[in-house]
Amino acid sequence: MCTLVFFYGPILAVGYLSLAPNGQPSVPIEGVSLRWYVAVLTDARFVESALTSIGIGVVVAIGGTALGAMAAHVIVRGRLDRWVRGLIGLIVALPLFVPTVVLALGIGVFAGRVGLGFGLVPVLLGHLFWVLPFSTFLLTARYATLDAELSEAARDLGASNAEVARTVVIPLLAPALLASVLFCFALSFNEFLVTFFLAGSAITTMPLELFGQIRIGATTFLNAASVLVLVVSGALATLASRFEAPV
Q: Are residues 129 and 226 in the same domain?
A: no
What pLDDT does residue 247 have?
Answer: 45
Within-domain flag for 209: no
What pLDDT does residue 184 have?
Answer: 92
Q: Are residues 178 and 130 in the same domain?
A: yes
Along the 247 residues of the chain, how does pLDDT read in single tens digits? 667 666 667 777 777 777 777 767 666 777 777 877 888 888 888 899 999 999 999 999 999 999 999 999 888 887 778 888 888 888 899 888 888 888 888 888 888 888 777 888 899 999 999 999 999 999 998 888 877 777 778 777 777 777 877 778 888 888 889 999 998 999 999 898 899 888 877 788 988 888 887 776 667 778 888 888 888 888 887 877 776 655 4
Q: Are residues 123 and 221 in the same domain?
A: no
Q: Are residues 150 and 189 in the same domain?
A: yes
Q: Are residues 133 and 237 in the same domain?
A: no
Q: Are residues 151 and 127 in the same domain?
A: yes
| Angle value at C-alpha 40, between 37 and 45, nearest 5 degrees | 175
User: CATH number for the domain including 156?
Assistant: 1.10.3720.10
Q: Are residues 125 and 19 in the same domain?
A: no
Within-domain flag for 3: no
What pLDDT does residue 128 have?
Answer: 94
Considering its fold, how many domains does the chain have in total?
2
Domain that residue 137 falls in: 49-203
Query: What pTM, to 2 d.p., does this model score?
Result: 0.85
Q: Are residues 35 and 103 in the same domain?
A: no
Within-domain flag for 94: yes
Q: Are residues 74 and 183 in the same domain?
A: yes
Q: Are residues 72 and 161 in the same domain?
A: yes
* Cβ(191)–Cβ(130) below 8 Å: yes
What pLDDT does residue 217 have?
Answer: 67
Cite the DSSP H helix spans in the chain: 2-17, 35-41, 44-77, 82-97, 100-113, 120-143, 148-156, 161-164, 170-190, 193-198, 206-216, 220-244
Within-domain flag for 92: yes
Within-domain flag for 208: no
What pLDDT does residue 68 have?
Answer: 93
Within-domain flag for 212: no
Q: Are residues 75 and 189 in the same domain?
A: yes
- State the greatest distance between any 2 C-alpha atoms of the chain, in Å, as a whole number: 72
What pLDDT does residue 203 have?
Answer: 86
Q: Are residues 36 and 55 in the same domain?
A: no
